[in-house]
């Protein structure tokens, strides 16, 4: 059903593009197929709505010859703290808080990604830290 919703949204967006309208789909309403199609950029008039308060489980998948990751019983979650919108056009992502002004990732966000080793009770653990903030205008 959700796959047909995205197809309908894409068709509607194409027909109504002359009127400069956009179709917003909530992050929680997207299926795997819809999200893959969104990421491909084939529906450039479809906007992903990330509503404040949305909670999504996050999974990490590390594979290789030397390391792998083990998921615990309780998955970690990502919480959307401020509403924003995302659109994908020709493989690039653009972000907005008002649906009028759109910026690419580097113009919209600032921050840092870091890794460290922490030892507690003689047990080492790997820490991944991501600081991500809206860039000042």
Quote the pTM value.
0.71
Beta strands in the chain (DSSP E): 23-26, 46-50, 55-58, 76-79, 84-89, 92-96, 103-104, 109-120, 123-134
Q: Which one, of 72, 64, 63, 31, lies nearest residue 48 by Cα?
A: 31
pLDDT in tens, 82-108: 999 999 887 789 999 999 999 999 999
In whole numbers, what is the pLDDT of the chain averaged over residues?
A: 81
16 pLDDT tier (thresholds 50, 70, 90): very low
pLDDT at 43 over 70: yes
Q: Which helix (H) or strand (E) holds 11?
A: helix 2-15
Question: DSSP class of residue 22?
Answer: -
- Write the DSSP symbol of residue 107: H
Q: What residues form DSSP beta bridges with 74?
A: none
Confidence class for position 49, pLDDT limits 50, 70, 90: very high
* 51-82 residue pLDDT tens: 999 998 888 777 889 888 776 667 788 999 99
22 touches 12 (CB < 8 A): no
């Amino acid at each position: 059903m959700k796959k047909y919703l995205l197809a309908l949204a894409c068709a509607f967006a194409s027909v109504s593009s002359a009127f400069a309208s956009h179709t917003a789909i909530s992050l929680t309403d997207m299926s795997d197929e819809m999200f893959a199609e969104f990421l491909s950029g084939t529906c450039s008039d479809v906007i992903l709505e990330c509503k404040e308060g949305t909670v999504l489980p996050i999974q990490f998948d590390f594979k290789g010859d030397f390391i792998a990751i083990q998921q615990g019983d309780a998955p970690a979650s990502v919480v959307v703290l401020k509403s924003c919108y995302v659109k994908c056009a020709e493989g690039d992502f653009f972000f907005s808080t008002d649906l009028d002004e759109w910026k690419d990732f580097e113009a919209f966000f600032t921050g840092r990604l870091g890794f460290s080793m922490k030892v507690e009770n003689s047990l080492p653990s790997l820490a991944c830290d991501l600081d991500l903030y809206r860039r000042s205008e």
